[in-house]
Chain A
Amino acid sequence: MNMLSIIFIVAGLFFMIVAAIGVIRLPDVFSRSHAASLADSLGAFLMLVGIALHEGLGINMLKILVVLALLYILNPVIAHATIRAALRSGLKPWQKETS
């Protein structure tokens, strides 16, 4: 059980690091927010599942699952709000130079 939770947490960390690299490497707001949503949807999910397994059955596991459900509801809302604001303020998405 402990081993499994460590595996989950390390996998979550991996995706968080990938997301951080993505935020630095990608060219504009639109694509950067994709990287940020990667950190939420898979990074945070794997880490929270790992912590829930570590805690074992009980009230703390329930709390973590509530956090997870709220995260999955709120993440698209925030991402959409950011992107819509960027689009409405006249920002143009980055394109490949060749096109």
Chain B
Amino acid sequence: MALFVFWIMLSASFEWTHLGLGLIFSFAAAWLNSGHSPFVPKFRLWLRILLYLPWLFYKIIQSSLNLSKLILHPALPIAPHMISVESKLRHHAAVVLLGNSITLTPGTITAEVDRNNLIVHAMDKSDEIVIKQMESKIADIFKDEEPDL
């Protein structure tokens, strides 16, 4: 239902063909996703994640500039290597957040996840420090939640 309202908002037209298509697609999407875990509102957690995003964005800009510098450097001074990160996080959601943050930051990509061990492909030696910082920030976010991993 919320999806249908969203469709109307986006299409901003009230012809029957548009409304009918929106109705079909929004219910199809809702039906396809009905088997997944329901959305549980945890306001403290979401607020902390929201406060984490600006810092993440700052890191994204920083490492983007760093990577641009590496690419445009005439000698191409890159040192790609694999890092194996064994995180101390004890939540599925926390590990997902960490993996997403790592991949979203240019210069590091999560290649494999197994419980709380991540294999990360990094472009530069300095990236390891950023990953450590991310991990401690995310551990801070989830410190009051029940561990489920």
Binding site for B on A (CB under 8 A): 15, 18-19, 21-22, 25-26, 28, 30-31, 33-35, 37-38, 41-42, 59, 62-63, 66, 72, 75-76, 79-80, 83-84, 87, 93-96
Nearest neighbor of A66 in chain B, beta-carbon distance: B10
- Pairwise interchain contact A79-B103, C-beta atoms closer than 8 A: yes
- Count B interface residues, CB 8 Å: 31
B39 to chain A, nearest CB (A): 15
- Pairwise interchain contact A84-B111, C-beta atoms closer than 8 A: yes
Binding site for A on B (CB under 8 A): 9-10, 12, 60-61, 64, 67-68, 71-72, 76, 78-82, 99-100, 103-112, 119, 121, 123
Which chain B residues lie closer than 8 Å to A79 at the CB level?
Answer: 103, 109
Nearest neighbor of B106 in chain A, beta-carbon distance: A38
- Pairwise interchain contact B112-A26, C-beta atoms closer than 8 A: no
Instruction: Compute how far the CA of A72 lies from the CA of B105 in the bound complex, rounded to whole angstroms.
Output: 11
Q: A22-B71, A38-B64, A93-B121 are in contact. Are A75 and B104 (CB under 8 A)?
A: yes
Instruction: Compute how far the CA of A41 lies from the CA of B121 in the bound complex, rounded to whole angstroms.
Output: 17
Which chain A residues lie closer than 8 Å to B71 at the CB level?
Answer: 18-19, 21-22, 25-26, 35, 38
- Pairwise interchain contact B78-A31, C-beta atoms closer than 8 A: yes
From B104, B105, B111, A83 is in contact (CB under 8 Å) with B111
- Pairwise interchain contact B72-A34, C-beta atoms closer than 8 A: no
A31 to chain B, nearest CB (A): 5
- Pairwise interchain contact B111-A95, C-beta atoms closer than 8 A: no
B26 to chain A, nearest CB (A): 15
